[in-house]
Structure 1
Amino acid sequence: MNNDLEKLAPSKQSAAKNLFATFEILKNEGGQLLGKQVIDKIREKNNLTSWEKEVYEKTGYVRWESILHFYTIDAIKAGFLRKNKGIWYLTEEGEKSISLGPAKMLETASKLYRSWAADKKDNKSLKNDSLENEPIELEENQTQSQKANLDLLEEQAIAGIKEYIRSKNAYEFQDMVAALLRAMGYHTPFISPKGKDGGLDIIAYNDPLGATTPRLKVQVKHRPDSSVPVDDIRSLTGLLNKDGDIGLFVTSGVFTSESERSARESHRHIRLLDINIFIELWQEFYTKMEDEDKNMLPLHSIYFLGSND
């Protein structure tokens, strides 16, 4: 395995080594993890060279991180990896590719990416290019570098939002949930006061009087470092005792697979929002919020040149 890596150019050595570590990390973490956390774990796991740790003067990015983000595009087009809202997901094909080892894994991903690019551009000559040749320099492959940089910026943004939410106390997060519901058009006549323990945290109506359905009964858990167990979902189900009641469970962490299954199979309508869905909805409805609600989790939008790929 090491001999195969030594035959590669420095940029590909770095890519193969760190992409392989990425897949192993994701597999060990149940198949998904925040991109920033993947980077942090690679920094601890792999022996990075001084060359890899150098910072690009033009962008300010660390070399190995830029190379990794660049080659994750190959992995995505190969079907080995998915990214969404800063979260990296290992696919079934990606998990199988671990058995190939670092060099062969990267070669396979690059071949599949070039095949995809050739089909997309109807340029068959790309399929016949030898992957033994030195790849196009990151700075020269503008489209892929641009996509990689945008992914990196998005991951940094999501990580910053999550860290901001983490710094809030349970009641502040509860107020954020109520603000999101108001932006979505609901009225929130009841928000659990400080000191109250158990029961419902928020009740939300379609109209000021709660005369029309659906009526949302909401439980909120500020547990950024843990998973919500199935017993908590069952407790919410027991509080849905009127026709038209919908249970909404919001957490600053995630749900166990058993919790998700319980919500899907429940005879009552239960909707689960983990931290990733919460952030996605906050971004979507942010412009509809009152200024006071926006200030609970303020965002600033910046537009970058995109890509047609």
Structure 2
Amino acid sequence: MSDATDVSRSRALAAKVLHAAFVILKDKGGEAPGRDLVAEIPNKVELDDWAKASYEKSGNIRWQSTLHFFSIDAIKAGFLVKKKGVWYLTPEGEKKLELGPKGLLDAATAAYRDWKAKNLNADTPIAEIQSPLLGPGEIEEHRQEATIQELEEASIDGIKAGIDKKNEYEFQDIVAALLRGMGYYTPFIAPRGKDGGVDIIAYRDPLGTVTPRIKVQIKHRQDKAPVMEVRQLMGLLQKEGDVGIFVSSGGFTPDAKTAARGSHVHVELIDLDRLIALWQEFYPKMADDDKVLLPLMPIYFYAPK
């Protein structure tokens, strides 16, 4: 059983790493993949041997587990959002940065207590709601939720690693498979060597008589797609009912995103995170021949209310 000293030491560590995570998120414009965020924290704060030690049973590193555990308070407080392995700093969370490490964690805990009071059943002891420390049941709930979030981030990393190993033509086949899983027909997939600006043409019906008629451009590389390439796709949308989709595993420059939002023709930008989210969503609807291009394995967890 942990004593008060252990609890105090853990909260001090939590305050330090949580605040560092918020600072990194702010510096990155408010969002970052969880794994990238965790990798940067040791560059922001000093971690002693106790913080860097691994737990004997799980093998998890103490400071990383502490960060994930206490991030649950920040999420319930509305300071932080985690979605598909990406962490997002909310405006409320950014404002709390000025409180410093301890003030930020205390504010998250207090807001969590308010959330808990509003969402617990009537027979929950008042002392449990008012206590600054988590009760045994709450600790287990935090651990379970933090573990699931860590596993989700690991799964996203695994999918990204799988995609990174694909060449440009295999990546093109993945995009075509996704479109078929979404209910589209793909009568044209550019052969190797062709570079005419359109890599895939997709229709809602086999003959392309029903709008939208989709023209897809695909780039599989590390650097962000520039505005010039997005505008090239716009120029190919000549007929009424034409829709453009630009898939870039490296993402898009700010100018490219602005151009797509302000375009008089519909151009949808899909980066790697969005592609993975769509692949996960429509994977059950795909044909077996398409699933093998990027196979997934669903895992189910017990999730009580």
Q: TM-score, structure 1 length as denominator?
A: 0.90
2:164 paired residue number: 166
- Map 1:1-309 onto structure 2 (within 5 A): 9-121=8-120, 124-126=126-128, 128-129=130-131, 131=132, 135-136=133-134, 141-223=139-221, 225-308=222-305
User: Contact conserved, 1:230 with 1:256, CA < 8 A, in 2?
Assistant: yes
User: Contact conserved, 1:70 with 1:138, CA < 8 A, in 2?
Assistant: no
User: Contact conserved, 1:233 with 1:259, CA < 8 A, in 2?
Assistant: yes
Distance 1:197 1:306, change over 3 A: same
Q: Deviations over 1:32-51 (max 9, x none)?
A: 11101111111343322211
User: Contact conserved, 1:139 with 1:145, CA < 8 A, in 2?
Assistant: no
Give the CA deviation at 1:201: 0.8
User: Contact conserved, 1:251 with 1:273, CA < 8 A, in 2?
Assistant: yes
Distance 1:127 1:305, change over 3 A: closer
User: Contact conserved, 1:79 with 1:91, CA < 8 A, in 2?
Assistant: yes
Give the CA deviation at 1:190: 1.2
Give the CA deviation at 1:81: 0.8
Q: Deviations over 1:245-284 (max 9, x none)?
A: 1111111132233322322221112112111111111111
Percent identity at matched positions? 52
Q: Which amino acid aligns with 2:276?
A: I
Distance 1:127 1:304, change over 3 A: closer
Q: Which amino acid aligns with 1:117?
A: K
Give the CA deviation at 1:226: 2.9
Q: Which amino acid aligns with 1:175?
A: D
Q: Once superposed, what is the RMSD of the aligned Cα atoms?
A: 2.1
Distance 1:13 1:175, change over 3 A: same
Greater Cα shift, 279-288 or 81-90: 279-288
* Distance in 2 of aligned mates of 1:138 and 1:105: 23
Greater Cα shift, 41-50 or 70-79: 41-50
SS at match of 1:204: strand
Q: Which amino acid aligns with 1:235?
A: Q
* Distance in 1 of aligned mates of 2:152 and 2:197: 37
* Distance in 2 of aligned mates of 1:33 and 1:104: 23
Distance 1:238 1:140, change over 3 A: closer
Which blocks of at least 5 consecutive residues in structure 1 are unaligned? 1-5
* Distance in 1 of aligned mates of 2:247 and 2:160: 14
Give the CA deviation at 1:303: 0.4
* Distance in 2 of aligned mates of 1:200 and 1:275: 19
Give the CA deviation at 1:138: 8.0
Distance 1:253 1:283, change over 3 A: same
Q: Which amino acid aligns with 2:257?
A: E
Q: Which amino acid aligns with 1:39?
A: V
Q: Which amino acid aligns with 1:27?
A: K
